[in-house]
Amino acid sequence: MPGLAIQVERYSVVIAIGGIPVRVNTTDADFLELLQNRYAGFVSAKSDAEFEFDVDLSQSTFANRDADVSVRHRSGQWFMERGGFRAEWNPAKRSGTIHQTANAYSIDAVLRIVHTLLLAQQGGFLLHSASAIRNGKAFLFAGVSGAGKTTISGLAPADATLLTDEISYVRKQDEGYVAYGTPFTRERENQGENTSAPVAALYLLAHGLENRIEPLAPADAGRELLANLLFFAEDHEMVHRVFQAACDFVDRVPVSRLTFVPDARVWEMIQ
Amino acid sequence: MSRKLYVARSPRIAARRLGEEMLVMSGQGSTLFTLNPTATIVWQAADGATPLDEIVERRICPEFDVQPEEALRDAEALAEDLAKHGILLISEQPIATAQPRTQEKP
């Protein structure tokens, strides 16, 4: 019987984080709009992308919404899963599929995982840290929740450009590192600027009664950095890469403890 | 007569000296360990072919001014502890294994 066909509209958006463009395809116009709003500063005007994901919104429920994230490598593909999404990604084919409901949190989690895997291959990483550019140099402020990342970001002077108040994007470049802005934040209004600068220093945040900077011994710096890295893959090869990337970083970048009182004078020490 | 014990670095471990300390990370569970100076010597010498008593005699006794028998007892306990964490392999036979990547600054 001729002529019976359903044409499904396909929408795409290219999200470029850390200079890596990823195309996301969907058949749902409302979801496309959600993505365009969520990643507003990071939507690329170019259609070229290094990787591509189709988003399948047809699965309305997932077995265990509270399940921990699982990232496994099998037969050349990465399989990512958490309560709320399931995704497959084949880096060699540069494509993958994300099964989720129409929400920003799930795709945000997938993008974070994908970028941690890409960065690990290149000697970089995602880090629980705020970061900002001042005088052409990027400064990272790492710490667990409550350490002061949002506080120090909020105290940044007008001449500082905030890259993120939550998750920093660090790429290895030549003998140094470059920090990029990220959209990875809980609050849309706290999204970082989509720009980058060479990393000048990493500070481990601590609250105190005075502002002071104390250099850390290399092993302490390595332990602290590793404790603040985002990494999900249960794959010993990738774990080794991330470990060596962290050690390389502390070999090349000054790492200090920054104890601060919550007022703007702390930025006098960040130049 | 005490048994001969051979030790080898687990190939599933990544290690790196940072400053004065040796950090090792297990690929399983991403667990990070810091080796003390004695453990670092055993780790570095654990090639699977050199018996532990030889490592103790040549490397540990001169470094720490300790009696060989006492040092060997401590080293055996240490090796078994490191093996429990998957950092070392131990055997009463020489061990042939691919060695993990240990990077040290030149």
pLDDT tens, residue by residue, A106-144: 999 999 999 999 999 999 999 999 999 999 999 999 998
A68 within 8 A of A41, measured Cβ to Cβ: no
> For A155-207, how does the pLDDT look when each residue is reduced to its tens digit (9 = 90+)?
999 999 999 999 999 999 998 999 999 999 877 666 789 999 999 999 999 99
pLDDT at B9 over 60: yes
Domain definitions of chain B by residue range: 6-93
Tell me if A240 and B23 make a contact (CB, 8 A cut-off).
no
Best A69, A230, A239 residue to mutate vs chain B (most B CBs within 10 Å): A239
Domains of chain A: 11-121 (no CATH), 125-269 (3.90.228.20)
Taking CB atoms and an 8 Å cutoff, what residues of chain A touch B40?
A: none
What integer pLDDT is reported at residue B106 of this predicted model? 38
Strand order in the sheet with B13-18: B32-35, B21-26, B13-18, B102-103
pLDDT at B29 over 90: no
Tell me if A218 and B101 make a contact (CB, 8 A cut-off).
no
Please state the ipTM of this predicted complex: 0.80
Which CATH number applies to B6-93: 3.90.1150.10, 3.30.465.10, 1.25.40.10, 3.90.930.60? 3.90.930.60
The minimal CB distance from A240 to the residues B19, B34, B101 is found for: B101
Q: What is the pTM of this model?
A: 0.88
Residue B1's closest CA among B94, B92, B95, B96? B92
What integer pLDDT is reported at residue A158 of this predicted model? 95
